[in-house]
Structure 1
Amino acid sequence: MTVRIERAHVRDVTRVKPLWKLLLQRYRDYAAGDWPVRDPKEAWERRHQEYLSWINDGMGVIYLATDDEFGDTGVIGYAALRFVDSGAAMNLGEAIGVIETVVVHPDHRGQGVGNQLMATCRRELEKREIAFCCIETLSTNSEALAMVESNGFRPYMTRLIRRIDID
C-alpha cells in the first residue's frame, strides 16, 4: 500500500461521498439511538455544499488519502479543515482551524492514515500561521478520541446537549 495525501479540488469532492456515508453509520452506532442522525442522502447534500463552499471561498481545504490499488475512487480517507474566527473570549489568534471531518476506510484503519491526515492539517495551519486547532467527536467514540489525543489534542470546552421536548 502506497498512501498519498493530496489536496482536493472542487471536482474531487464527490470522491469522498462513500466515506461520508460510512462516517454517518459510525455516528449511528456510537449515538446508540440517543441522538438523531440525519438520513445519508440529506446529510451528504448538506455536507457536499459545505465542502464546495469552503473550498471556493478559501475558508477550508480537504485532503484526500489515496491508494491507487483501492476501489473506484482510490480514496481511503480524507480530512476536511475549515478556518474560522476564534471568537471574542479566548485569545487564540484571529482564526483557528476546525477539523470538521477525519475518516478512514475500515480496511485501512490502524495503519497511520488518520495520523497522516492530521499531520497534513497541522502543516496547513502552520503555513497560515494559525496557532490553534480544534476537533469534535462523539464522546462515546473511544477509538476516535484515542487517535485525536495521540495527535496532541486535549479537552478544552465541553459541549453538553439535551432534547428540549423531553423531561
Structure 2
Amino acid sequence: MATKSHGGVPTLRFRYLGTADVDELADLWAALHERHTATAPHLEDIITRVTADESWRRRREQYLAWLSEPETLAVVAERGGAPVGYAMVTVRENQQGSWDRGTRVAVVQTLAVRPDHGGTGVGSGLLEELRRQVGAMGIHDLELTALATSAEDIRFFEQEGFRPFVTTMVSRIGAFGGHD
C-alpha cells in the first residue's frame, strides 16, 4: 500500500484491488455516473442514458473482464480508511502510426473522485501513483478520455500534463433519416 500526503489534508493511501474486490467501487462509480449525466445533457439526443444501477452492472462486468488481464490496475485512494477515489487502468498494445508511443500504452479507463473530495489532491495522487506503477512496467504513455463539455476536468488533466491527442465524435445511426 502506497501513501501520499497533500498539504494539511490527511494522507492518501493507495490499495490495489482484484476481481473479488470490484464491488467496493460501486458507490464511487454511481457518483461518477451522476456527474457524467449532469455534465453531458447535450448527448441525450444521440446516446441513450441508463440508470445508475444498470450503468454499474455494465461497468462491473467490464471491470471483471479487464481485471482478468495481468497488467490491469485497479487502485483505490483512501483517507482515514474511507475510499475517496479510484482509477482503473488497462494496458494495450500500441498500434504504431504517425507517432512513436512505445509498444504498449496505459489507458485510464476510469478516474473517479468522490465529489466532496474534489480539489484535495485525490485525482493528482491517483495519477502520480499510476505513473509510478505503469512507468515501472516500462510504459511511457498514459492516456485517458474526458467529456468534451467538462471544462473543469479538461483543465485539471492539462494541469497534470495531459494534452489533447484525438477527438472522438459520436453520431447516432439513423439520426439523419433513412435512405431513399
TM-score of the superposed pair, with normalisation by structure 2: 0.84
After TM superposition, give the deviation of residue 33 of structure 1 in Å.
Answer: 4.5
Aligned residues: 163
Conserved? CA contact 1:104–1:113, under 8 Å? yes
Conserved? CA contact 1:102–1:114, under 8 Å? yes
Conserved? CA contact 1:78–1:117, under 8 Å? yes
The residue number in structure 2 matching 1:40 is 52
1:61 aligned to which of 62, 69, 73:
73
Q: Which amino acid aligns with 1:117?
A: L
The residue number in structure 1 matching 2:146 is 137
3-state secondary structure, aligned to 1:102: strand
After TM superposition, give the deviation of residue 39 of structure 1 in Å.
Answer: 2.4
The residue number in structure 1 matching 2:7 is none
The residue number in structure 2 matching 1:83 is 91
After TM superposition, give the deviation of residue 68 of structure 1 in Å.
Answer: 2.9
The residue number in structure 2 matching 1:149 is 158
After TM superposition, give the deviation of residue 15 of structure 1 in Å.
Answer: 0.9
Deviations 1:7-48 (A, max 9, x none): 122222111101101111111111114243332222212211
3-state secondary structure, aligned to 2:43: coil
Using the alignment, how far apart are the partners of 1:129 and 1:3 within structure 2?
Answer: 25
Conserved? CA contact 2:12–2:125, under 8 Å? no
RMSD: 1.6
Using the alignment, how far apart are the partners of 2:51 and 2:109 within structure 1?
Answer: 19
In percent, how many aligned pairs have the same letter?
Answer: 28
TM-score of the superposed pair, with normalisation by structure 1: 0.90
Larger Rg: 2
Runs of 5+ unmatched residues, structure 2: 1-9
